Amino acid sequence: MTLPMTWDEWAAHDGVGLADRVRKGDVTPSELARQVAAAVAKVDAKLGAVIELFDDAVADPAANKTNLNGPFAGVPYLMKDLGPTLAGRLQEMGSLFMRGNRATADSFLAGRIRQAGFNIMGRTTTPEFGVCSSVENPAVYVTRNPWNTDFTSCGSSAGSSVAVAAGMVPMAHGSDGGGSIRIPAGVNGLIGLKPSRGVFSIAPGLSDLTGLVSSQGCLTRSVRDTAAFFDHCRGGAPGEFMPYWMPPEPYTELIRRDPKRLRIALSHEWGDYRAVPEFVDELTRIGRFLEGLGHHVDWALPEVDFVAAFEAQTTCYISNFAQVIAGMLAARGLDRPPADLIEPINIRIWEAGIGTSYTERFRMQANFNATARAFGAFFEDWDVILTPVTALPTPRLGTTEYLTISDNPSVRDWFGNLWKNFAYTPLANLCGIPGISLPLGAQVHGLPLGIQAQAKQANDGLLLQLAAQVERAIEGKWNGGKKPGVRV
């Protein structure tokens, strides 16, 4: 089969660049779809990122409800197998229990993505119900890091991150309930922005208010792709519980200008959680680099009760996921999770959370409020806080303590172990503030280390503006110009 581009040419294009070529008549959406199918065939057997490609979307993007006149003009796109649904398509959520589950309608965001011109071509891997930090259940699938396949790609937007990092697609869908966009972006060398509340709708099944901590978004290799996705896919559906806000100007315009001189705080000590020394060195190095761009950089930390904040976050996850699992059980007439179809930690989450009282939730929400107010006060004095994305080196595959197939008898101890590594991302979800992972650091074993920037609510554009300034300063050479070992 003759492809429209060489692999070097394909890998050099981001989504905006491919859309420009379609509009110029250099390539058609159908040719782009064929290139993606060839890319998946070329590398995915080594990585395990793509569950399924939709044959009809490959054959005819227009028949896939794609608005070929949209700004992305038929650019191929993959959806995480969790969250927004696609009419008539399987959505199995990384679970044996959900095998064969087929959606009856597009979710609101899926419609926005199609209207923006994306050809949704398939679905990517996620851990069961998006709960844990690695896609690694051999009974379902295992997703490997393209930089070194002995390591995890983290999660929960694992397959999307790997597909973008390996060059199968220029960008893909992710969701983030505690770092699930930023963490896999960080360990796969990508850009991953978790938005503020009120950007991407999760209608009709939930709202930002009922979901509390989960956000939608994308994973990309360029700042302009992220900016354009936000510009064209954001917005609320009818009946939202809260207003959906718009920035004063499109992000694609904003990122053309450098930000003002920013007050940037560095931090890696969040309560009892500390980054390993090599990560602190990388954070310090990036801080000096940002000083060189003209920003004021120093060490500072919000006055947060981190013990109470993480306790509240854990209560939120346990009680929320318990109800999600309960809904799935009720739909099948079951009164408890079947041990042969749902993973052990998720069963323990259901057991621990199904009886959560209103009093416990009220206490949780009080801690959410206190934490959000503390971050709010901090951002009166600082524009951005910078941390590593993770505190510890990326685990090798087979490190079961982070997995929902773990035999840990205590679900709270299991979550506590997660926070030792993934401490820096969840509180942005709790507070509804934006956080972006930028591929600026490196780990000693050669994997990328994302550097996370967080800002006050609705300052998503400022984070993109800073990211664009950095991208220009490094001449687009994220990850120091290095490439994954497995790529197209």
Active site residues: 80, 156, 180
Burial of 198 (0-12, 13-18, 19+ CB in 10 A): buried
- Other Cβ atoms within 10 Å of 153 Cβ, number: 33
Q: Are 227 and 464 in contact (CB under 8 A)?
A: yes
CB atoms within 10 A of CB 8: 9
The H or E element containing residue 229 is helix 223-233
Alpha carbon distance 348, 412 (integer Å): 10
Single out the residue of 194, 218, 266 nearest to residue 433, CA to CA.
194
Cis peptide leading into residue 196 (ω within 30°): no
Cα separation values, 138 from 75, 155, 390, 396, Å: 32, 16, 25, 15
* Helix axes of 411-421 and 306-331: crossing angle, nearest 10 degrees: 120
- Is-contact 76 63, C-beta < 8 A? no
228's CB contacts (< 8 A; 6+ apart) are 15, 16, 71, 72, 251, 252
DSSP, res 380: T
Tell me the torsion sign for CA atoms 343, 344, 349, 351. positive
